[in-house]
Structure 1
Amino acid sequence: MTESAGRRRTRRLATGTAVVLVLAGINGPWVYRFGSERYHEYKINRPEYKAANGHWGIIEFPAEYRQDTIHAVLLHTGKVLLVAGSGNNQDNFDAKIYDSRIWDPVKGTVKKVPTPADLFCTGHTQLADGNILIAGGTKRYEKLKGDVKKAGGVMILYNENPDRPMTLPKGTRFTGKRNGKTFVSDDSALIPRATKVFDRKTGRFLRNNPGYARVIVEAPKQGTKYETGTQDNYGIQGLTGADARNTYGIANKLGLDKRDFEGIRNAYEFDPVAEKYIKVDPMNEARWYPTLTTLSDGKVLGVSGLDDIGQLVPGKNEVFDPRTRTWTYTRYKRQFPTYPALFLLQDGRIFYSGSNAGYGPDDVGRDPGIWDVDSNRFTRLPGLSDPDLLETSGTVLLPPAQDEKYLVVGGGGVGESALSTNRTRLIDLSAPDPGFVDGPTLEKGTRYPQISVLPDDTVLVSGGSEDYRGRGASDIRQARLYDPATNSFRRVADPLVGRDYHAGSVLLPDGRVMFFGSNPLFADKADTKPGVFEQRIEIYTPPYLYRDARPALSGGPATIARGGTGTFTSRQASAVRKVRLIRPGATTHVTDVDQRSVALDFRTSGDRITVTVPRNRNLVPSGWYMVFVDDDQGTPSRARWVKVP
């Protein structure tokens, strides 16, 4: 019905009541739906409703700037880095179209950024100098079982020559000794030289331990007749003499099974001022779906991911040193599923909540606990409800960070399971014998919840879906504010857009929250229409921004050392009740281990507020932070940026 038609109906209402009633009888559901939608729009735009529940608005970039955003990082310039890479789009990947954008939420501008590799499903974190470390990404897309036309799989290559390594180019052909079938490598491979082993007491030579590498191989032609059912040794065509004797391949079944995504070793720093990627030394391991977590010395731990042949990295974790821009393996191995939620604790150890984004065995590395990276001691934590439903759950360090309380939200079964849980779980790691207890439940089982810490100490929990990647039109268009002080949820305004897999949220410096992404499998309840990637940005304005006024905050130093003080100016200084130092977010796949809100001691004098930064570098890792002050109504200021060296 058009607006003009609505006005004409109103004018005729007195003389046409009977006609209207007849039409309503015929078209009742449509009339009701139209009226309810108009009323809902009226209700959510009323000032009183916004003051109680907040408000959602949609931003749609011009067509040439839209992308399938997978990752979002708040920069210390106040802008947001939006990364798609190939955007879970095989056509983009094949055409080497890799995208990133810089969005300025103040000016409303968006800019394309040259992207050097496929940073789809990479890892990222904030560095001390304000650069963003980005590591890993996509080497090759998955092939589902029905899409695999050529038999193939993983071949282990061995080199028994202790004098030199062996390089095999892409396209090398391998022929089975027993089955006689030939397979072709889809990448080059460097096989290290063998290692000589001597008796420690006598010095007598014992043997050569062969060097080894792995490569994906495929049959040269399609068809099931090229599949193999058992392990075989493979000779390498083109090699002769000693090389042929010393270099060979071994493979188990080579078939038409599903092949997972493969990762890359690439690593970059993104410079927020120059707004460009800077290449740094590659990781030792290729990683797709890795987590990057800051350690107590400011170095960055790289964990998990699928490697360059699509297998879960077998616990070979590594550390990035920002001073040398190089990677070094950790002393011990420990395996986790992909995108594990790993948080730096105040004593320098790492808390693993059990939350993860998907790939990995269902019985390896899924128990929550506290991990000492240096000794590899792992202390399991008891009491977790629905422990088999942690995949695609979200975990957040509750404010203030000094309390070391964490909230785990929702989750689902391993892989493409339809199972999900409506539970939340709490753990207080400052307790003598910490264990999980249940928090308030959600209305629905929830995978992929988007979680953001707000400057008033509440936590926004929004979106997600009941089923894997929103199957069955199961997106949850609901949002809640969690209050750590009362351990309770309060329902607020509903988001306008459903967001599930590949969605996330980031707190902005003005106190609003930006939401991005969503990659549903299907677009209808019957799961018959393919899903469409959500390219629109949505902004949630919390209730606290609809009050009469917010405290002003200006001036202040650009740098405050740990244990040091800084003085800001505010006309409302006498009304300030708390000050928060919030680390900017870096989020993807329900994983954001960077965000934390630290309480600052403060004193006021006239229009001046002097704050003190805690001394503990594990509580306040080096880097850029947002400083917010909250007044006696719980209304936050706009943030001031401060660097903690």
Structure 2
Amino acid sequence: MGAIEASDYEMQSVFAETPTLACSDEKACREGAWEVMPFKNPVRSMHAVMLRTGKVLLIAGSGNDPSLFQAGSFTSALYDPSSRTFRLIATPEDMFCAGHVQLADGLILIMSGTKSYPAADGSVTYAGLRGSYTFDPTSESYIRVNDLNEGHWYPSATILGNGDVISLGGLGEDSNGSVVTERFSRAQHRWLPVNQVNQSWQFFGLYPSMILMQDGRLFYTGSHVFGDGLPGTGASVYDYEANKITDVPGLQDKNHRDQSMSVLLPPAQDQKVLTVGGGNILTNVDANRLTDIVDLKRKSPKYEKGPPLPHGVVDKGHGMVPEEGAEGKMYVSLVILPDGKVLEAGGALHNRADPVSEVSLFDPSINKFEPGMATDPIPRGYHSAAMLLPDARVMMVGDNPGNGSFDDHISIYSPPYLFKGSRPKITSVINDQWEYGSTQEITVDRGIVKAELIRPGAVTHSSDPNQRLIDLPLTVTASRIGVNVTSNSNMAPPGWYMLFVVDAEGIPSVARWVRLDANANKLQVPPATYRASAGNLAGDTLVPWEGRKSVRVNSEVSGCDYHYGTAGTCVPITFPSGVSASGPDRCEWLRMHGYKSLKSNSRRLDPLGLDANHDGLACGPEDRSRGG
């Protein structure tokens, strides 16, 4: 076989014989298949992070349970997919609703979390912690780093090409919107003082999806959590170095992209972003089917309308019925697969309610969804997460509807490619420490058409902005393959990646782990003693923050009326259309969605008319029969 050369940004096929396909299951060959694990998740995991060890860090913190918060009971667990075992991890603070990202050395940086839950009378919403930690996959423990400059409940977390991390948005310690840009320095292994960080004093909302572009700027996709989009077009390019924000036009219905999801489409070299679905928990309209695609290589990027999400079936409390018209979903999960497609799964029609059963594959090469994939038997709405495993399957966890329950099942999806025949195998990786612009040698057991790096997932609230697949152009001689690594660290930020090879039928190998970095063979992970004592853990003494003003955030930002029940229960401030404004009708909707009788937290205030007899019990027997 002759050698094949390819440029940094162009993929070339390597033609070789492939074993005859033997479909092991005809239905699964078309749709894939789900398996619900016969054991339970031991924690109420709101966050899921793939580690370079192949284990999954499941973070609950207080797990949206105010009784656990009050008790100071915070939890995490490590799940090992290969042995199907768990290990509980001591968790020092409430990391519920934190941000997280893999650092260049494979540590997981975790920022903020929950300082306080909403007040019982609804006057104050959540507040963010300043605390920050790394999680070490080797010692399997949390290590404290210095504090953020202020709290950021629901922050973004994006790694840059030099290994630094930018974090934006979220709610501060005063429950208002933070306008402070935070920067974690790789060189110093600490959060920088605010006066050493470029400040735009812009509030980017909650969990704003910020994707690193090939030129080092950040693209805010418009995907966010809770309520309306940002002023302007709802999407923008943020140039940190120039301290400049430029609107990106074209995003459809920007005020109904709450808990949509965005992904940098594979391969990352194409620089195209897909944004899918969304709703609005404040108005509680039906979630939509909208999709939008933007080409970030254009001089003036603009979103273009994409194909509509496939319809699914939805349970509105009366059993599953087909979706109609513009009905789509929020709480969407998007997972990049090794064959270059994107799995789209999970979701619900309304605020923490009405799960949608529908799974499809998006093919970026033709900009189309392939509908009709097998569906997860478990509903996956609010606080669900999905990620790629090193064996090319997909893991899904979580569902936390408004009634306060949490689903503790783990589901595993095997895509169609796993039923189409034997898999190629990476038989050796000569060196697992890769440098930018290098050619690395691997061997395989048979012909392949492509090799790629996929960054491991770090998911929460339909947000995983660091997710990406980087094509590796090939130089091939017999069974030895040279994979050509991009020279652009913005294309593939430093860190550990899953290396896959794929054959001509789209069947992937099991991944091998490699670390990509500048001078990768010379860099050493800082010793734990250095990490633990980095700087003043309580924060730095700062000069006055000139121009700093937090943004006032409504106490109903989460879409829940906390006059009823606990902070872990969400009675919607607005009910879906079709539910009348009468107390009995609202109580019936709540009953059909699994709510029990709720404590009324104020005898004087009953804004939804759920406690007609003012006995302190909302939706009690008398309330369900009275007008109101």
Q: Same fold (TM over 0.5)?
A: yes
3-state DSSP class of the match of 1:476?
A: strand
Which one has more relative contact order, counting CA pairs under 8 Å at least 6 apart?
2
Instruction: State the Cα RMSD in Å.
Output: 1.6
The answer to whether the Cα contact below 8 Å between 1:86 and 1:118 also exists between their aligned partners in 2 is yes
Give the deviation of 1:134 after TM superposition: 0.2
TM-score, normalising length: structure 2: 0.73
Give the deviation of 1:365 after TM superposition: 7.5
Aligned equivalent of 1:619? 491
The question of 1:482 aligning with 2:362 is answered yes
Query: For residues 296 and 643 of structure 1, what CA distance do their matches in structure 2 show?
Result: 14
The question of 1:106 aligning with 2:91 is answered no
Query: For residues 582 and 50 of structure 1, what CA distance do their matches in structure 2 show?
Result: 24
Give the deviation of 1:616 after TM superposition: 0.2
The answer to whether the Cα contact below 8 Å between 2:212 and 2:466 also exists between their aligned partners in 1 is no
Choose from 503, 506, 530 the match for 1:631.
503
Query: For residues 382 and 366 of structure 1, what CA distance do their matches in structure 2 show?
Result: 5
Post-superposition CA distance 1:413-437 (Å, at most 9, x none): 2535234211111111112332111
Query: For residues 83 and 283 of structure 2, what CA distance do their matches in structure 1 show?
Result: 41
Moved over 4 A (4+): 361-366
Give the deviation of 1:595 after TM superposition: 0.9
Cα distance change, pair 113–365 in 1 and its aligned pair in 2 (3 A): farther
Give the deviation of 1:298 after TM superposition: 1.5
Query: For residues 96 and 414 of structure 1, what CA distance do their matches in structure 2 show?
Result: 29
The answer to whether the Cα contact below 8 Å between 1:519 and 1:534 also exists between their aligned partners in 2 is yes
Choose from 281, 284, 293 the match for 1:426.
293
Query: For residues 273 and 151 of structure 2, what CA distance do their matches in structure 1 show?
Result: 30
Aligned equivalent of 1:536? 409
Aligned equivalent of 2:396? 515
Query: What is the count of residue pairs matched by the alignment?
Result: 473
Query: For residues 408 and 444 of structure 2, what CA distance do their matches in structure 1 show?
Result: 39
Aligned equivalent of 2:336? 453
Rg bigger for which structure? Answer: 1
Choose from 308, 311, 323 the match for 2:176.
311
Query: For residues 366 and 66 of structure 1, what CA distance do their matches in structure 2 show?
Result: 42
Give the deviation of 1:60 after TM superposition: 4.5
> Any residues of structure 2 matched to 1:228-243 within 5 Å, and which?
none
Query: For residues 97 and 476 of structure 2, what CA distance do their matches in structure 1 show?
Result: 45
The question of 1:496 aligning with 2:377 is answered yes
The answer to whether the Cα contact below 8 Å between 1:137 and 1:288 also exists between their aligned partners in 2 is yes
The answer to whether the Cα contact below 8 Å between 1:369 and 1:378 also exists between their aligned partners in 2 is yes
Choose between structure 1 and 2: higher helix proportion.
Answer: 1
Aligned equivalent of 1:284? 149
Question: Structure 1, unaligned stretches of length 5 or more?
Answer: 1-44, 149-256, 522-529
Query: For residues 59 and 512 of structure 2, what CA distance do their matches in structure 1 show?
Result: 25
Aligned equivalent of 2:238? 371
Q: Specify the code of the residue in structure 2 equivalent to 1:478.
A: E
The question of 1:592 aligning with 2:464 is answered yes
The answer to whether the Cα contact below 8 Å between 2:226 and 2:280 also exists between their aligned partners in 1 is no
Aligned equivalent of 2:438? 564
3-state DSSP class of the match of 2:27?
A: helix
Query: For residues 540 and 425 of structure 1, what CA distance do their matches in structure 2 show?
Result: 26
3-state DSSP class of the match of 1:609?
A: strand
Give the deviation of 1:295 after TM superposition: 2.0
Query: For residues 350 and 83 of structure 2, what CA distance do their matches in structure 1 show?
Result: 37
Q: Specify the code of the residue in structure 2 equivalent to 1:382.
A: P
3-state DSSP class of the match of 1:591?
A: coil
> Any residues of structure 2 matched to 1:137-152 within 5 Å, and which?
137-143=113-119, 147-148=120-121
Give the deviation of 1:95 after TM superposition: 1.0
Q: Specify the code of the residue in structure 2 equivalent to 1:316.
A: V
Choose between structure 1 and 2: higher strand proportion.
Answer: 1
3-state DSSP class of the match of 1:616?
A: coil
Q: Specify the code of the residue in structure 1 equivalent to 2:218.
A: I
3-state DSSP class of the match of 2:473?
A: strand
The question of 1:355 aligning with 2:355 is answered no
Aligned equivalent of 2:253? 386
Aligned equivalent of 1:407? 274
The answer to whether the Cα contact below 8 Å between 1:135 and 1:267 also exists between their aligned partners in 2 is yes
3-state DSSP class of the match of 2:30?
A: helix
Query: For residues 142 and 185 of structure 2, what CA distance do their matches in structure 1 show?
Result: 18
Q: Specify the code of the residue in structure 2 equivalent to 1:337.
A: G
Cα distance change, pair 561–586 in 1 and its aligned pair in 2 (3 A): same
Query: For residues 144 and 242 of structure 2, what CA distance do their matches in structure 1 show?
Result: 32
3-state DSSP class of the match of 1:100?
A: strand
Give the share of equivalent positions with the same residue, in percent.
Answer: 40
Aligned equivalent of 1:341? 209
3-state DSSP class of the match of 2:417?
A: helix
3-state DSSP class of the match of 1:475?
A: strand
Query: For residues 377 and 56 of structure 2, what CA distance do their matches in structure 1 show?
Result: 21
